Chains A and B, each alone.
Chain A
Amino acid sequence: MRYAMAIDTRKCVGCSDCVVACQTENNVPHGYCRDWIVENVSGAYPIVEVELRSERCNHCENSPCVRCCPTGASHIVEGGIVMVTHDECIGCGACIQSCPYDARYSHPDGYVDKCTFCQHRLQKGQNTACVEVCPTKCLHFGDIEDPYSDVSLALKNRTWKVLAPEAGTKPQLYFLT
């Protein structure tokens, strides 16, 4: 099993509902976020193109954050989800330095925090909070090894890209273009 997410950049309207849903669901402290919206404008007026992306931890298959963690607080659980055990984390910041996506932050309580793919919800058979609230249904989540999962079906007939593949981390967020 391998959890992954596909994000439809053509459907996303940049409303930030996913950001707020995550902050509420996961008690993210004020001023911080585990997912965020990037608005990428390219071209020169009048020919411009906008790409909206809802980004979060890529739950990389070759995760440098797990490798460099001196205590094992950063680890991988079933389905390839990268997790941080708060009371094993010493807050050294090595994993923050190692993430090409800047997906981690230092929680005001000291430990490092990031997206968990709402593992606590998955265990109950629910979907992630961000997917659940997205008004345009542009987020697709599921087991990428299952050809009939939401994410596999979304990737099937579309072109997609991953961000910074050259960083070599094998990211698991797929952006439909």
Chain B
Amino acid sequence: MKEELFISGRDIPNIDPFLNIWHWQIPLYLFLGGLAAGIMFFAGLFTIMGKEKQMATTVKWAPFMVPVALVLGLFALFLDLKHEMYFWRLYTTIRMESPMSWGAWTLMLVTPLSMIWVATYMKELMPRWNWKFDFVEKTVAFFTTKRKEMAWAMMLLAIILGVYTGILLSAFNARPLWNTSILGPLFLVSGLSTGLATIIWMSKDKKERYILSQIDLGLIGIELFLIVHLFMGFLAASAVQIEAAELFLGGQFTVTFWVFVVILGLVFPATLEILEIKGFHIPIWIPALLILFGGLVFRFVMVEAGQITRYLY
């Protein structure tokens, strides 16, 4: 029999006994970033496909949520910073090795882009809208002619943003739960799905919802596949990653993860969407809300559980 006991003379706030340096701000930031990426991706996609008319909510209305989500997300990130008066330091350098750095720069590009996109649709949605200044009017008119180009940029940046929300975590090899390359695609797909849920919720057009629900079902399928893959990878990896997986397979996050994220956040809304497609009448906000809720819980669980996993002590 062999016992092991560690006594450390350390009790540093937020570090001991478990690392807890990131609180609610980071998961919220990741959630909003993913959601914004989802909406932008599909707005861009259907614009490129020339489906502005059929998919009006996706292309014209839902993007209004993007700048809101991004600004809120950036604000959450700002609240997380402990030395926030030096925030501008993020933008005095680009460090490719640091996901935090290129993520901050991506947001710097994405946020104004999404605002311009919304501006080009302002008049269409509110006919009485007036830009007041002539040069604003002209600028918006110019960008209105460039929607296709913007759509491509939005799609590309949406993918980068979506992947970034996962890579931000997976780049930390010190936290075994995060240190897997599946996190990038998993967060991207989950972000696209939450974006879709938002659009479905907003859409009044049955046909549009039908198309979006079908895409969403595909995404949920991929997400479930990636989650299974994630755990298969952990269980076949080193001791620290097996330990990380055990937090979800009998450990303290088991119920939160499998009940709230997988069943209520993925399987159940997917079932409702299938029923809806089959013609049953399901209030649309129910699956949408569940997906959004599941996505949010997923990020909270990942950020919190990841900080507990470690190599030493």
Task: Say yes or no: B99 contacts A92, CB within 8 Å.
Answer: no
> In the docked arrangement, what's the CA distance between A44 and B85, Å?
52
**Chain B contacts of A99 at CB under 8 A?**
174
Q: 1/0 contact trace for A88-108 toward B, CB 8 Å?
A: 111111101111111001100
> In the docked arrangement, what's the CA distance between A101 and B15, Å?
11
Contact partner, A102, options B19, B22, B84, B92, Cβ 8 Å: B19
**Chain B contacts of A110 at CB under 8 A?**
82-85
Task: Say yes or no: B89 contacts A68, CB within 8 Å.
Answer: no
Of A1-9, A30-38, A125-133, A146-154, the one contacting chain B is A30-38
Q: 1/0 contact trace for B158-182 toward A, CB 8 Å?
A: 0000000000000111110000000
**B145 touches A (CB below 8 Å):** no
**How many chain B residues have a CB neighbour from A under 8 Å?**
50
**B238 touches A (CB below 8 Å):** yes
**Chain A contacts of B2 at CB under 8 A?**
42-44
Of A70-78, A116-124, A137-145, the one contacting chain B is A70-78
Task: Say yes or no: B7 contacts A167, CB within 8 Å.
Answer: no
Q: 1/0 contact trace for B82-99 toward A, CB 8 Å?
A: 111111011011010111
Which secondary structure dominates where chain B touches chain A?
A: loop
CB nearest to B85 among chain A residues: A110
**Chain A contacts of B22 at CB under 8 A?**
93, 97
**B3 touches A (CB below 8 Å):** yes
Q: Contacts A36-B8, A41-B5, A102-B15 known; A70 to B238 CB distance under 8 Å? A: no
Task: Say yes or no: A92 contacts B80, CB within 8 Å.
Answer: yes
- Would you give the shortest CB distance from B242 to chain A, in whole angstroms? 13
> In the docked arrangement, what's the CA distance between A44 and B4, Å?
8
- Would you give the shortest CB distance from B122 to chain A, in whole angstroms? 34
**Chain A contacts of B84 at CB under 8 A?**
90-91, 110
Q: 1/0 contact trace for B10-36 toward A, CB 8 Å?
A: 111111100101100000000000000
Q: Contacts A42-B4, A90-B86 known; A164 to B104 CB distance under 8 Å? A: no
**A168 touches B (CB below 8 Å):** yes
Task: Say yes or no: B1 contacts A92, CB within 8 Å.
Answer: no
CB nearest to A67 among chain B residues: B97
Of B62-70, B274-282, B304-312, the one contacting chain A is B304-312
**A160 touches B (CB below 8 Å):** no
**Chain A contacts of B313 at CB under 8 A?**
38, 102
Between A41, A44, A68, the greatest number of chain B beta carbons within 10 A of the residue's beta carbon is seen for A68
**A25 touches B (CB below 8 Å):** no
Q: Contacts A41-B4, A93-B21 known; A70 to B173 CB distance under 8 Å? A: no
CB nearest to A73 among chain B residues: B89
CB nearest to A32 among chain B residues: B12
**Chain A contacts of B13 at CB under 8 A?**
31-32, 105-106
Task: Say yes or no: B80 contacts A69, CB within 8 Å.
Answer: no
A-B contact pairs, 15 of them (CB 8 A): A36-B8, A42-B2, A70-B100, A71-B101, A90-B87, A91-B82, A97-B175, A98-B172, A100-B174, A100-B311, A100-B312, A102-B15, A102-B313, A163-B312, A166-B240
List residues of chain B with CB under 8 Å of any chain A CB: 1-16, 19, 21-22, 80-87, 89-90, 92-93, 95, 97-101, 104, 171-175, 238, 240, 307, 310-313
